[in-house]
């Protein structure tokens, strides 16, 4: 077998193993990412003997994967859901990260006895929560929208500032930089703001271009959306601002724009993100050599994790959310739900790639912290939500709406489902009260399809095909979600729900 064929075969086997591991992780309540890490370790020196120690390649692959993961997170973010939670989430992602960084730096120096530069790196690397871990675990917890939105938005926004801080601190630790605190903070602020502006601009351009050009396949819209988001990253890096904030903001703008095939785009980007997460964590597992672990590294990782989970994170959450009316139990849950995953481990490769003294030991400490405390926190989140009384059992899954353009008749074809728990079940076509000239043309129920009439009653699991004039697409989508959440009398009860198109 040729080397290229062997690599292709082994890559496919690794992806299959990771897919099966994801299933196991779901049953155990663990993020699948940790099991991907285990697969990488088993492929490494302690298992199949693959020796991967190219730090420059690991650093580059990690950043590339993080770009695509952030793009998927932005494309999947519903702006109308997170908009009410944006202020507390933004505060947690900036001030909260700063508070967590400061507390961990002090604790690392005075409690763990670390040098100031190493303690600061520890604080910076462990400050951000991980979007992939948070999203995957929270799917299994019935939380109120305002609480879920804060946690998800925070995890998507806090990567960019921490990447900049770790890069700057690594330069200080290796002697490549001697900038003072204020110039350093000023540089980070400029890069973040510049990245946000680049993301807004690229997202706006992407929307304008995509609406004017009709592509021959829905999958091409998905590819173009990801390409636009990565373009924002490249543009940001090229002009010297934060590419990570640019890619996330651009993806949010694109994902919430008035574009066709939104569901296809999100499904495609989710698949890309899964591939990136599998490759990233398998690679990190190869880098993590268990034979290199010492009891000192394990002890330091556990001690740092305890300080982070029980002191730094609660202090940061309290400082940032006390102004927004969150109840005490909600703040406690937010403190416990600060999951760490890929980002701290990727950040730990930066000192290694810069040849910082004892960087491999620093990497091992971060690895132990992430693995141990994710295994503790992730499976206990549903029980914690129940004990703290923050579960919302009435929270129904929103109706899924896909749009395909019908250029010849200036209309759109909406495909909507009736998910489990939706109050669309039991509603008749007449009671939908759709705008004029909007027609439910077909219902797919199980293995049969039929043309409905005004008295047809919708059932759970139905798929509806609705022909809508182009100017009424958003109104129809909003109406369907109103009824899905509030029932046939939603409008009379005053429930006003907006939707991302």
Same domain, 349 and 420: no
* Higher per-residue pLDDT: 486 or 232: 232
* Other Cβ atoms closer than 10 A to 58: 20
Same domain, 348 and 412: no
Instruction: Locate 379 and state its tokens.
Output: 């499976």
Adjacent-strand bridge partners of 442: 465
Cα 176 to Cα 344: distance, rounded to the nearest angstrom? 22
Name the average pLDDT for the chain: 81
Adjacent-strand bridge partners of 444: 449, 463
**What does the pLDDT average to over 214-227?**
84
pLDDT in tens, 71-127: 888 888 878 777 888 889 889 988 888 899 899 989 888 888 888 888 888 888 888
Q: Which long-range contacts (CB under 8 A, 24 or more apart) does 360-366 make?
A: 360/292, 361/294, 361/297, 362/118, 362/121, 362/122, 363/287, 363/288, 364/288, 364/292, 364/293, 364/294, 364/297, 364/301, 365/122, 365/297, 365/300, 365/301, 365/304, 366/122, 366/125, 366/126, 366/301
In which band, very low, low, confident or very high, does the pLDDT at 401 lie, cut at 50, 70 and 90? low
Q: What is the pLDDT of residue 226?
A: 93
C-alpha closest to that of 73 among 23, 34, 131: 131
For the domain that residue 139 is a member of, what is the CATH number? Answer: 1.20.1530.20
Q: Are 165 and 345 in contact (CB under 8 A)?
A: no
Same domain, 221 and 354: yes
> Within its chain, how far is the Cα of 234 from the centroid?
20
Asked whether the predicted pLDDT for residue 197 surpasses 80, the reply is yes
Cα 370 to Cα 342: distance, rounded to the nearest angstrom? 9
Asked whether the predicted pLDDT for residue 498 surpasses 60, the reply is no
For residue 444, being part of any structural domain is answered with yes
For the domain that residue 466 is a member of, what is the CATH number? Answer: 3.30.70.1450
Share of the chain above pLDDT 70, in %: 90
Q: Three-class SS of residue 440? A: strand
For residue 472, being part of any structural domain is answered with yes
Q: Which domain holds residue 103?
A: 14-50+78-388
Q: Are 67 and 243 in contact (CB under 8 A)?
A: yes
Spatial CB neighbours of 464, under 8 Å, sequence gap ≥ 6: 414, 415, 416, 417, 418, 440, 442, 443, 458
Instruction: Quote the DSSP letter at residue 271.
Output: H
Asked whether the predicted pLDDT for residue 19 surpasses 90, the reply is no
* Higher per-residue pLDDT: 462 or 407: 462
Structural domain ending residue among the three candidates 324, 356, 388: 388
For residue 90, being part of any structural domain is answered with yes
Spatial CB neighbours of 210, under 8 Å, sequence gap ≥ 6: 221, 224, 225, 228, 254, 257, 259
Cα 48 to Cα 83: distance, rounded to the nearest angstrom? 48
Same domain, 451 and 364: no
Same domain, 250 and 325: yes
C-alpha closest to that of 345 among 282, 251, 270: 282
Asked whether the predicted pLDDT for residue 48 surpasses 80, the reply is no
For residue 461, being part of any structural domain is answered with yes
For residue 169, being part of any structural domain is answered with yes
**208 burial via Cβ count (<10 Å: 0-12, 13-18, 19+):** exposed
Q: What is the pLDDT of residue 403?
A: 57
Encode 237-249: b = buried (16+ Cβ within 10 Å), e = exposed. Answer: beeebbbbbbbbb
In which band, very low, low, confident or very high, does the pLDDT at 178 lie, cut at 50, 70 and 90? low
Place of tokens 């549903």: 382
C-alpha closest to that of 40 among 345, 283, 278: 283
Sheet holding 411-417, edge to edge: 401-406, 411-417, 463-469, 439-445, 448-450
Instruction: Locate 86 and state its tokens.
Output: 């944006």
Q: What is the pLDDT of residue 493?
A: 39
Same domain, 209 and 266: yes
pLDDT in tens, 149-159: 888 888 877 87
Same domain, 229 and 89: yes
For residue 242, being part of any structural domain is answered with yes
The string of DSSP letters for 40-64 reads HHHHSTTTT------HHHHHHHHHH
Give the number of domains in the chain.
2
pLDDT in tens, 227-277: 999 999 999 999 988 888 899 899 999 988 777 777 788 888 888 988 888
Could you list the beta-strand ranges (E) of 349-438. 401-406, 411-417
Adjacent-strand bridge partners of 403: 414
Structural domain ending residue among the three candidates 388, 411, 435: 388
Q: What angle do CA 151, 108, 304 make, to 5 degrees?
A: 55
Q: What is the pLDDT of residue 406?
A: 59
Q: What is the pLDDT of residue 351?
A: 81
Q: Are 26 and 286 in contact (CB under 8 A)?
A: no
Same domain, 410 and 362: no
In which band, very low, low, confident or very high, does the pLDDT at 173 lie, cut at 50, 70 and 90? low
> Within its chain, how far is the Cα of 430 from the centroid?
39
Same domain, 384 and 407: no
Same domain, 348 and 406: no
Cα 162 to Cα 102: distance, rounded to the nearest angstrom? 12
Same domain, 418 and 346: no
Same domain, 322 and 349: yes
pTM summary value: 0.75
Phi, psi of 449, rounded to the nearest 5 degrees:
-135, 150
Phi, psi of 248, rounded to the nearest 5 degrees:
-70, -45
Q: Are 267 and 218 in contact (CB under 8 A)?
A: no
Run of H or E residues at 499: none
Structural domain ending residue among the three candidates 366, 388, 410: 388
Taking the CA atoms of 332, 81, 155 and 187 in sequence, report the sign of the dihedral they define: negative
Cα 432 to Cα 381: distance, rounded to the nearest angstrom? 37
């Amino acid at each position: 077998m040729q080397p290229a064929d062997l690599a292709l075969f082994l890559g496919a086997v690794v992806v299959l193993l990771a897919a099966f591991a994801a299933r196991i992780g779901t049953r155990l309540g663990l993020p699948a990412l940790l099991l991907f890490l285990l697969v990488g370790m088993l492929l490494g020196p302690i298992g199949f003997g693959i020796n991967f120690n190219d730090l420059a390649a690991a650093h580059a692959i990690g950043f590339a994967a993080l770009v695509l993961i952030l793009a998927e997170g932005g494309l999947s973010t519903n702006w109308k859901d997170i908009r009410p939670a944006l202020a507390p989430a933004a505060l947690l992602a900036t001030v909260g990260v700063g508070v967590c960084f400061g507390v961990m730096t002090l604790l690392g120096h005075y409690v763990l006895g670390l040098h100031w530069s190493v303690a600061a790196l520890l604080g910076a690397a462990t400050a951000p929560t991980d979007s992939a871990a948070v999203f995957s675990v929270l799917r299994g917890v019935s939380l109120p929208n305002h609480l879920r939105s804060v946690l998800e938005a925070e995890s998507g926004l806090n990567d960019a500032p921490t990447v900049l801080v770790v890069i700057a601190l690594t330069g200080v630790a290796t002697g490549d930089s001697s900038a003072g605190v204020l110039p350093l903070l000023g540089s980070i602020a400029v890069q973040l703001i510049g990245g946000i502006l680049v993301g807004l601009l690229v997202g706006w351009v992407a929307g304008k271009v995509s609406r004017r050009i009709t592509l021959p396949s829905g999958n091409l819209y998905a590819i173009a959306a990801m390409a636009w988001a990565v373009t924002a990253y490249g543009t940001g890096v090229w002009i010297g601002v934060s590419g990570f904030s640019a890619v996330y903001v651009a993806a949010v703008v694109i994902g919430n724009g008035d574009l066709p095939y939104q569901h296809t785009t999100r499904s495609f980007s989710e698949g890309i993100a899964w591939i990136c997460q599998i490759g990233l964590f398998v690679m990190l597992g190869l880098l993590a050599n268990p034979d290199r672990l010492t009891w000192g590294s394990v002890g330091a990782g556990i001690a740092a994790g305890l300080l982070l989970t029980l002191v730094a994170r609660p202090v940061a959450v309290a400082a940032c959310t006390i102004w927004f009316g969150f109840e005490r139990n909600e703040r406690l849950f937010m403190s416990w739900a600060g999951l760490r995953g890929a980002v701290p481990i990727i950040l730990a490769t930066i000192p290694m790639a810069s040849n910082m003294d004892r960087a491999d030991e620093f990497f091992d400490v971060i690895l132990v912290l992430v693995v141990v405390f994710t295994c503790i926190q992730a499976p206990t989140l549903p029980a914690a939500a129940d004990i703290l009384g923050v579960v919302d059992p009435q929270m129904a899954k929103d109706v899924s709406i896909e749009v395909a353009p019908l250029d010849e008749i200036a209309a759109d074809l909406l495909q909507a489902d009736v998910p489990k728990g939706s109050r669309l079940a039991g509603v008749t076509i007449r009671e939908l009260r759709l705008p004029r000239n909007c027609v439910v043309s077909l219902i797919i129920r199980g293995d049969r399809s039929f043309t409905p009439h005004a008295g047809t009653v919708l059932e759970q699991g139905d798929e509806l095909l609705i022909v809508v004039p182009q100017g009424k697409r958003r109104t129809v989508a909003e109406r369907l979600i109103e009824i899905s959440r509030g029932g046939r009398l939603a409008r009379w009860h005053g429930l006003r729900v907006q939707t991302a198109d």
